[in-house]
Amino acid sequence: MALRRAKPLLGTLVEIAATSPFSGASGQALDESTQQAKLQVAISAAFSRVADISRLLSFHKQESELNQLNANPGIWCHLSSDSLRVLRLAKYLGRASDNLFNCTVGGELIARGALPSPLGMPLLSQGHWQDIEIEANRARILRPIMLTLDGIAKGYAVDLAVSVLRRHGITGGWVNAGGDLKVFGTATLNVICRDTNGLSKSIKISNSALASSRVSSSLSQDFPALLLPTGEVDISANSDNERIVTIQAPFAWRADALTKVAGYLSPENAKVKISQLGGELVSFGASR
């Protein structure tokens, strides 16, 4: 027995699917309604974890822990373990990728109108991973920058939802947050990745995560911008080669974040760099 549900969360539709627990177990077979009830409880719990992350790390909620940090540069803020963990991951990836992954570009996004300006205080348009300090139960930003965790927190929420399902004894399923996808256990999913030219390819996914981003050098009010950090970058800003980058990795937070890194690199370099950083470049479609 399998169950799928979808709710609007994290600014997208989040779909959670779970197959029946205790399948193949040698114990007493449960009747259908008991199984269904168990699945519902597990899926509800997973959705509620996703909602937690949204509440803690939303840029759009003034009372989120993320905005508490953003509003108090230089001041230590006590944070939940979820927030600390996402910050640690973001900082680690900033360091590992020489700032190609950069979660400190919120000021720039605000300046371009891609994000709302919640504070009305003077900001640096971007910083780097060294601007984030993390201790056991608190963190602070060293300069007036704006952290935005869009490039990683959605993936993290997907991973969390999966671990909630597992803890409830679910043997297989997937969580898909608008394209940040993780498939686990006995489940296999055929997914179609579309290219910018409309061509699609089908990939079979099991026990791993997948994320895709479209990378474009044209500015649009509708989409967030990420400035090129001062790292080793291959893609010239004037090359108008829109493409879709798809990354596979063991966990969704990593796949999510690595799409940003790959976007800055040529196909050859992206392949190498992404595998150094623990992911796999599945496709790097340029539109022609």
Burial of 194 (0-12, 13-18, 19+ CB in 10 A): middle
Round to whole Å and give the CA distance between 159 and 165: 10
Closer of 67 and 171 to other proteins (Cβ) = 67
- 126: contact with other proteins by CB under 8 A: no
Helix 32-57 × helix 81-96 angle, to 10°: 70
Q: Show contacts with other proteins in window 60-119 (CB under 8 A).
A: 60-61, 109, 111, 114-116
DSSP 131: G
Residues in Cβ contact with 69 at an 8 Å cutoff, skipping those fewer than 6 apart: 77, 79, 139, 140, 141, 147
Residue 168 in contact with other proteins, rule: CB under 8 A = no
With CB under 8 A as the contact rule, which of the stretches 77-85, 90-98, 164-172, 209-217 interacts with other proteins? Answer: 209-217
* Contact with other proteins (CB under 8 A) among 98, 225, 250, 286: 225
Q: Is 40 in the site for other proteins (CB under 8 A)?
A: yes
Identify which range of 12-20, 80-88, 160-168, 273-281 contacts other proteins by CB under 8 A: 12-20
Find the part of the chain contacting other proteins (CB under 8 A) among 19-27, 76-84, 135-143, 175-183: 175-183
Task: Please report whether residue 15 would count as binding other proteins according to CB under 8 A.
Answer: yes
Among 220, 266, 275, 276, binds other proteins (CB under 8 A): 220
Alpha carbon distance 110, 202 (integer Å):
37
Residue from 134, 124, 129, 59 nearest 101 by CA: 129
Segment 227 to 266, residues that bind other proteins, using CB under 8 A: 227-228, 233, 235, 237-238, 244, 246, 256, 259-260, 263-264
| Dist. CA 197–CA 112, nearest whole Å | 27
Question: Which residue number, 24 or 63, has a Cβ lying nearer to other proteins?
Answer: 63
Q: Name residue 12's beta-bridge partners.
A: 9
| Residue corresponding to tokens 């540069």 | 73
> Binding residue for other proteins (CB under 8 A) from 96, 193, 280, 286?
193
